[in-house]
Chains A and B, each alone.
Chain A
Amino acid sequence: MNKSIRLALMLLAATGVASTQYSLAGDVVSLRGHAAPDEETKAPPQKPWRKDGEPLPRDYVQQPPLIPHKIKGYKINLKFNKCLTCHSWANYREAGATKISQTHFEDRDKNVLANVSARRYFCTQCHVPQANARPLVENTFKPIEAISGK
């Protein structure tokens, strides 16, 4: 094979790769749609949060339980954690809330502390409220029956 043919083949292959990439990129739509960056886009409607309800069943082992109520305006900072004013061990009975797990009192070396561990303090890192929204990407996930009962 001479040099020019080899070069031509390489060019052809490169164009092929480039065009597949181009068509793949064409399927991906960013949140702002196909609008140019300087155009105004229509914001999608906000999903209403699930206001209040029974605790939601877990779908898999070690899933952080979901928050079955709205948490709008609930703050978590160094001065207080709004969630813990109901869910702490001192308050859950009075509030009729689920108490935080015993695991939340352990530091990363498994030392048991007197109060909630700093690494477990920011509840919404793992626990999230719910809105009735369709999955962004279709998937075939099924909850584990032994956990969820579904």
Chain B
Amino acid sequence: MADNDTKQCTGFISCLWNALKRPSVHYSLGVLLLAGFVAGILFWGGFNWAMEMTNNEQFCISCHEMRDNVYQEYQDTVHYSNRTGVRATCPDCHVPKEWVHKVVRKIQATNELYHKVMGTIDTREKFEANRLELARHVWKTMKKTDSRECRNCHDYDSMDFTEQGRRAVAQHSKGLEEGKTCIDCHKGIAHSLPDLREVDPSAVVGSK
């Protein structure tokens, strides 16, 4: 049988397939298992390590599109600097914590590489021109996921309304009743809002 397979082997792929199909002749099952475990740990660990490398602020702002625009604005906000010294960095809000959602987001991010190459937002003017659309993408995603990334830290269940101000209590109670999600009200908290002319003309001078 083995001789027949060897004879039928013509190309690289069929030879490899034949080799993989046959039981091992030289190595014991123990060695094979152990090698499999070690390789598994290396590959899996390496994959996650590489993914985590792309999941920190330094990586995000290695692009000037991020560093010169959204990163500058974020440094003025409470998520960057505050009383208690807790900081939320880019991936804390923009990349899901759960593995499956994280991988899906990372695959979606390859689209950002395309636009980096095309230079879609490589100047301040282009960025400003696209800001509303970019913001709408994030708003839409957060609405869809019920502000999942916000809730990694800000959970209704762990919120003590009695510690909140008068406006916050009223709005949070109402929001909870109506099943609203964080992004419905908290837009533009970590970056500047886009031109609101289209979204809310009542908040922009000169619009009707």
Seen from chain A, the residues whose Cβ lies within 8 Å of a Cβ on chain B are 51-54, 69, 73, 75, 78-82, 84-85, 88-91, 95-96, 114-116, 118, 121
Contact = CB atoms under 8 A, between A and B. Distances in A.
Given A79-B195, A80-B195, A90-B200, A69 B205 contact: no
Contact of B203 (A53, A85, A118): A85
A85 B200 contact: yes
A146 B208 CA distance: 38
B202 interface: yes
The 9 A-B pairs with the shortest beta carbon distances in the complex, nearest first, are A52-B165, A88-B202, A90-B202, A84-B203, A79-B195, A80-B196, A121-B205, A114-B208, A85-B203
The residue in B76, B77, B167, B195 that gathers the most chain A C-beta atoms within 10 A of its C-beta is B167
Given A79-B204, A82-B203, A85-B196, 18 more contacts: A51-B165, A52-B166, A53-B165, A78-B195, A78-B205, A79-B196, A80-B194, A80-B196, A80-B200, A80-B204, A84-B203, A88-B200, A88-B202, A91-B200, A91-B202, A95-B171, A96-B174, A118-B206
Interface string B187-208: 0100011111100111111111
A91 B202 CA distance: 8
Interface of B: 76-78, 165-168, 170-171, 174, 188, 192-197, 200-208
Contacts, number: 73
B203 A80 contact: yes
A89 B200 CA distance: 11
Contacts of B167: 52, 69, 96
The residue in A85, A91, A118 that gathers the most chain B C-beta atoms within 10 A of its C-beta is A85
A68 to B, nearest CB: 9
B162 to A, nearest CB: 13
Nearest to B165: A52
A6 B188 CA distance: 74
A67 to B, nearest CB: 12
A88 B174 CA distance: 20
A74 to B, nearest CB: 10
A79 B194 contact: yes
B203 A52 contact: no
A91 to B, nearest CB: 6
B165 A73 contact: no
Contacts of A91: 200, 202-203
Given A69-B165, A73-B77, A81 B192 contact: no
A115 B201 contact: yes
B202 A118 contact: no
Nearest to A69: B167
Contacts of B206: 115, 118
A115 B208 contact: yes
A82 B76 CA distance: 15
22 contacts: A51-B165, A52-B165, A52-B166, A52-B167, A69-B167, A73-B76, A73-B77, A78-B204, A79-B194, A80-B193, A80-B194, A80-B196, A81-B203, A82-B188, A88-B202, A90-B200, A91-B203, A95-B171, A115-B202, A115-B205, A116-B205, A118-B206
